[in-house]
Amino acid sequence: MARPPELRAYALQCLLETDPTDKAEAVATMADAFAAGALCVESRGDLPVSGVIPGRPARPELVPPRLVGRRSMVTVEGRAMLIHSLAHIEFNATNLALDALWRFPDMPVAYYTDWLRVAKEEAIHFSLLTAHLQKLGYQYGDFPAHDSLWEMVEKTRGDIVARMALVPRTLEARGLDAIPPLRAKIAQAGDMEAAAILERILCDEIGHVEIGNRWYRYLCDQRGIEPRATYDELAKRYEAPVLKGPFNIEARRLAGFTEAELTGFA
């Protein structure tokens, strides 16, 4: 199928792609086309805003988080379960970046280029993790997974302020806290290749959370609303998870959280 020359429409086609490998390749092609000047950014609200279901494969089976299973680093299967879980998060993160790209019209061009960058990097993360999973003897879809990240994307589909507040700077920011101990455990188990992938993901995710922080504050400024009070109200309205430590304060600082916000995480 021919891809449209407009970035948001192209992103929507990528979102609808069901095959994970094809989706990752399509995102890379989209980013290359935009870098070459072959795609324009037209932010008019002329795309469908309801009834869009992101493309995903028949597997993995989606289950509640408590049923995903324990991941022992002692066995290859346990490490594979962890890599699979992370790959699923990155697959959903690719979809959420694509959704942020196409769903919200009338934003500055920089907003769309930022989320194009996120989509490209999340797709790379997914590809790195699934390639390593195959080296361990497994495929994406071999284990069950949960869908908590995408559930919040769905909840916030009608409110860009809530999307920026509760997805990149809340749920994705949890990765800044979770990755270092996971990286340490998998390195201790001797899987240095996986540890290196997690290091790359952490570095990129700092930038992704910073993008969410920056556009959240931009939108608050545009609407004349106070960021911290608005965040508290949105977290309550959309039933965002209560964050628990320990927190990666330095990574959160690099990702654009203010010192006042960091005080609440300490």
Answer yes or no: is 236 within a domain. yes
* Interval 183-223: pLDDT, tens: 999 999 999 999 999 999 999 999 999 999 999 999 999 99
In a domain, 60, yes or no: no
115: domain CATH number? Answer: 1.20.1260
- Is 65 within a domain? no
Q: What is the pTM of this model?
A: 0.94
Which of 24-32's residues contact partners 24+ apart within 8 Å by CB, and which partners? 24/94, 24/123, 24/124, 24/126, 24/127, 27/94, 27/98, 27/119, 27/120, 27/123, 28/120, 28/123, 28/124, 29/3, 30/3, 30/116, 30/119, 30/120, 31/116, 31/117, 31/119, 31/120
Q: Could you tell me if residue 1 is inside a domain?
A: no
How far is residue 166 CA from its own chain's centroid? Answer: 12
Tell whether 151 is covered by a domain: yes
For residue range 58-108, what is the model confidence (pLDDT) as tens digits? 999 988 877 776 778 889 999 999 999 999 999 999 999 999 999 999 999
Question: Is the Cα dihedral 195, 63, 14, 107 positive or negative?
Answer: negative
Inside any domain, residue 28: yes
Boundaries of domain holding 170: 7-47+71-265
Q: Are 155 and 202 in contact (CB under 8 A)?
A: no
Q: Is residue 247 part of a domain?
A: yes
**Total domains in the fold of the chain:** 1
In a domain, 32, yes or no: yes
- The Cα 107–Cα 98 span in angstroms is 15
